[in-house]
Amino acid sequence: MTEATATTQEAHILALPDGVSGAVHDWSSDQTAFKKVPWGKAMMWIFLLSDTFIFSCFLLSYMTVRWSTTDTWPNTSQVFSLEIGGHPVPLLLIAIMTFILISSSGTMVMAVNYGYRKNKKATAVWLVLTAMFGASFVGMQAFEWSKLIAEGVRPWGNPFGAAQFGSSFFMITGFHGFHVSVGVIFLLIVTYKVLMGRYDDGGKKGFFTSRKGNYEIIETMGLYWHFVDLVWVFIFAFFYLW
């Protein structure tokens, strides 16, 4: 580093404001906080942080209701059982749903891996597999909802015990299912754009294609999808196993 360059950098540092104003200036100018981090990925992290607070509030509310209710809480092993050969199998459907969603994290990792290599066909294949896993999960959740509704479970009551069970179930699983559904839609959109070469140099600009020559949107989608999978692990443990 030459003496002139060092002098210029020192003068720039001295020109920055101090205190809170300096911190605001630093973050807003992308100098330190998000150095070399794409804004899309940074904003996804911020969104996931806010979503973490929401899901945490839901689960904490569920725990509070579960501990404070004086009515008998339904036995989840019986409520969420399926009959196979005339015998009830506890949590069978939930176990399959959990296996599918966890497996989708593996396919998403493969999509990100091939995205780094800019392999369009392989990336698209793994994205489609991830979307299929997600759609299967949502379909099974819809079946679970219809089964419980047919058995009389409502947000304001149910025949199995405490009335709060229904509201907690539909609120928590519904909000998570909405996240998975949105993720599936976005995965399919990104898959289409990958196959059309929108993320390659010279591709057309448009929705989700503002940056050329890289597949960073695949990694950003991976962050979202892994978050959704992780949240389901907590829902599975707190709601179905407790």
pLDDT in tens, the chain (242 residues): 555 544 444 444 445 566 677 666 655 655 455 566 677 888 899 999 999 999 999 999 999 999 999 899 999 998 999 988 888 899 999 999 999 999 999 999 999 999 999 899 999 999 999 999 999 999 999 999 999 999 999 999 889 999 999 999 999 999 999 999 999 999 999 999 999 888 887 656 666 665 666 788 899 999 999 999 999 999 999 999 88
Segments making up each domain of the chain, as ranges: 20-241
Reported as a single tens digit per residue, the pLDDT across 102-139 is 999 999 999 999 999 989 999 999 999 999 999 999 99
* 76: Cα separation from own chain's centroid: 25
Our measurement of the distance from residue 10's CA atom to the centroid of its chain's CA atoms, rounded to an integer in Å, reads: 43
Query: Are 214 and 199 contacting, i.e. CB atoms less than 8 angstroms apart?
Result: yes
pLDDT number for residue 102 = 96
| Per-residue pLDDT at 36 | 65
**pLDDT score for 208:** 60
Largest CA distance in the chain: 84
User: Among residues 53, 54, 65, 52, which one has the least CA distance to residue 242?
Assistant: 65
Cβ count near 142 (within 10 Å): 11
Cα separation, 117 vs 165, whole angstroms: 47
Looking at residue 33, its pLDDT comes to: 53
Q: Are 141 and 169 in contact (CB under 8 A)?
A: no
Fold of 20-241: Four Helix Bundle (Hemerythrin (Met), subunit A) (1.20.120)
Structure tokens at 157: 């009551």
